[in-house]
Structure 1
């Protein structure tokens, strides 16, 4: 009888495994329906609480009025949860921001003093959220930009924490890798202690060219970085010397993590990094340049984070998508087109036959430079290119991963870099050439 029970248990386990495999191999369709909606959000925002030029409530109103469903405030090394008064003349937004605040919220502004001594009480996050949140329509989320630097070289390392509950001071570290890893650990420790979902992402890796692909690819619990940042000074495209673009960094990280290190996929975000909210457009760091579209059941921090961590989103600087379908056979992308625009869809990946060896770059003295190594052109290869509003890529059997980039014929109306076109970035998925242990956890 005992043997028979063990046999039944074994059969049940096999059936359960087969059932899981069947579910895992069914197509995954990312599209709005009766239960799911696309929610547009910006995950990098600055205000008068640090170095932005406007008040929290005015910034939140701008995003709500421009079709966003969520916004994360991420001021430098501060949470908007304390009593703070500021002199209007000393704020970055000055009289312009104050005048607009009074116009938009005439019954809301608390002030004292007159003339050069005029002060305004900065509203705290909870106050602004209570005033502007609309269930199911608009959601404000508390965050923080941990602004840190390396002990060696003083390279700036900035990371955004989302759904913060307590301030995380910069954790420091000798190298960029150590600083990133230490701050990720601090965020994950808070998440575990509170039992509430939180995520952390690396900001603008090419800001002062502080972060190399080799720094980023080894951080196990870091799953997000900014492939597009709307600040004009962050060098999304790299330069003509030794610094690759953020997209090139992404492909190197993906190829190494999947093909050599057995680590999870890294996802790419698009953000504003907004600091300047007046006289738009201009060549400063304006709102409205980059965002994420997250597919979720409801507009809550918990469900947004759940979808982000599962890769159920795409990043955009202007292109909208109707549907993304992935399956064991490949990937299909369908654009939501605008009249007069044409679209180029590129499927990008790395094959498991590609040499993943990186070669350090040295100066004239033979010293290693703090720049991303050079790698084979097979890393981040364009596997297929289509001029259409929809396209499909079929796996050939040797791809570590595949992602997609869609580029519109239309220029960005307020670009962070001159001649930028509007784009969308589809998140990478594992290909059949990835090691089996990756598929077991996918």
Structure 2
């Protein structure tokens, strides 16, 4: 993965997981997009449920693009059963408009349908950036997560799952997969339906030279982004002894690695911190979490040492 902080371009703010009346959201696509634009977002992926119940929508948002705001086509894919018997939820951003439907007539597994890993691999082949959606909410097991071997990312935070059931987390599954050598990135999303306060709570900051679907998608696949609920990450630098982080005002800067490997530096209105690596041993990867005084977090992607 490339470093978002040294890559060319600027940061663009976007939400990658959103629903409208084309599936189970309560707002028309036009109003969803109006609200994200009004809140200062630069781009949006409208990812309605790709399921027979709603005629397998890939919602056409191309008409809402302008000089200040763009959209990326996508969907939340469903097919096959996880270990708990429930249907897979797989986020696919950057799908072609003619991505072929599978056999998922409703939210229950049926015979003769693709597995979750199969439809995820098909989405990747079609050019999409694919993420394991809301692992904690889904009741995803590590074996489930391992099987989805074509995914680019894990949702480390899902705001809709935070507000709706207090199950927002993907860090545990992500860290276990990273520790097995999986080169994954970490995304924060809204999963907005606008039926509860599930919006404007988690986003990605993508470093690209243009706010275009093509440039954003390339940067997402390259890991040139970080995720946030509010704090800004401005720089992450790693040497043999420490990780140096520059950020907006924070109370904690934390680094994590394999197993129990982690170290935090705490303070008041921290904008720079040097966090020693001695507690992380020879962990092959390191990631950063920044927490502000309101408890809001920002997450870097993993750095492979």
Measured against the shorter chain, the TM-score band is 0.7 to 0.9
Q: What do residues 365-384 of structure 1 show as CA deviations (whole Å, max 9, x unaligned)?
A: xxxxxxxxxxxxxx152134
- List aligned pairs for 1:9-408, cutoff 5 A: 30=5, 36-77=9-50, 125-126=59-60, 128-130=61-63, 132-135=64-67, 137-150=68-81, 153-165=84-96, 166-170=98-102, 179-191=115-127, 198-209=128-139, 211-231=140-160, 232-233=163-164, 235-236=166-167, 245-256=169-180, 258=181, 264-276=182-194, 284-326=196-238, 331-337=243-249, 342-350=250-258, 379-387=259-267, 388-393=270-275, 395=277, 398-408=282-292
- Larger gyration radius, structure 1 or structure 2: 1
Q: Which has the higher strand share?
A: 2
CA distance in 2, matches of 1:334, 1:250: 24
Q: 1:153 to 1:170 in 2, by over 3 A?
A: farther
Deviates more, 1:215-224 or 1:288-297: 215-224
Q: 1:309 to 1:394 in 2, by over 3 A?
A: farther
Q: 1:382 to 1:295 in 2, by over 3 A?
A: same
The Cα shift of 1:169 comes to 3.1
Q: Moved runs in structure 1, 4+ residues, more than 6 A?
A: 171-174
Q: 1:291 to 1:56 in 2, by over 3 A?
A: same
The Cα shift of 1:182 comes to 1.0
Aligned residues: 289
The Cα shift of 1:156 comes to 2.9
TM-score, normalized by length of structure 1? 0.59
Gaps of 5+ in 1: 1-23, 85-123, 192-197, 238-244, 259-263, 278-283, 351-378, 411-420, 432-442
Q: Which has the higher helix share?
A: 1
8 A contact 1:332–1:393 mirrored in 2: yes
Q: What do residues 286-308 of structure 1 show as CA deviations (whole Å, max 9, x unaligned)?
A: 21011000111111222212222
8 A contact 1:171–1:179 mirrored in 2: no
Gaps of 5+ in 2: none
CA distance in 2, matches of 1:171, 1:293: 34
